[in-house]
Amino acid sequence: MRERLRAAGGEFGGIMLETNRILDRTDGSLRRAGCGLRVRSAKVLEGTGGGAKMTFKGPAQPGAFKTREEVEVFVEDAEAAVAVLERLGYVKILEYEKRRERWRLGGCVIELDEPARLGLFVEIEGPDDEIIREVQRRLGLEGSKHLTASYVEMASRYCEENGIVDCRLTID
């Protein structure tokens, strides 16, 4: 995929190691509603970026590609943000690390993701379906399978299937 990105004129943006902490209400009502609450910290391994942010994700919207409302706020300290949310009654239900390599091409952000123990994924985010399809075509991905499951769903399933009680997945 890196070779395809380079050949298509993609611009390398950096590599991060992300730690994603997923929180929910004690009754699990956020997940049941298809919503999510995440606190993410990103350590720069190469390039620029990094920092921490808190994100609310709304339920998936209908369409050819996965689309969700996202409301984000940058935070100075991810651990302190989690502590504030816990004091407000939220509980951490999952924590997973992900290696993410970022590229830009044709108005889209392409991320080569390696979430701990889940495999390798290509994520394309763009302003509309037509532009995303064009970038897929340029990268030879137009026939590729689109996954609707989120990393949170996949990581939760992995923890259940493998008896990981604290549901914490790290990159070794």
Tens of each residue's pLDDT in the chain, 172 residues: 999 999 999 999 999 999 999 999 999 999 999 999 999 999 999 998 889 999 999 998 888 787 889 999 999 999 999 999 999 999 999 999 999 999 999 999 999 999 999 999 999 999 999 999 999 999 999 988 888 889 999 999 999 999 999 999 999 8
Q: Which numeric CATH code is attached to 2-164?
A: 2.40.320.10
Sign of the alpha-carbon dihedral angle for 73, 79, 81, 85: positive
Give the residues across from 68 on adjacent strands.
Answer: 60
Q: Is 148 exposed, middle or buried (0-12, 13-18, 19+ CB in 10 A)?
A: exposed
Distances (CA, A) of 163 to 24, 153, 168: 20, 15, 11
Q: What is the pLDDT of residue 26?
A: 96
Report yes or no: 59 and 34 within 8 Å, Cβ to Cβ: yes
Where are the chain's structural domains? 2-164
Cα angle value 115/12/54 (rounded, 5°): 50
Task: Quote the pTM value.
Answer: 0.91
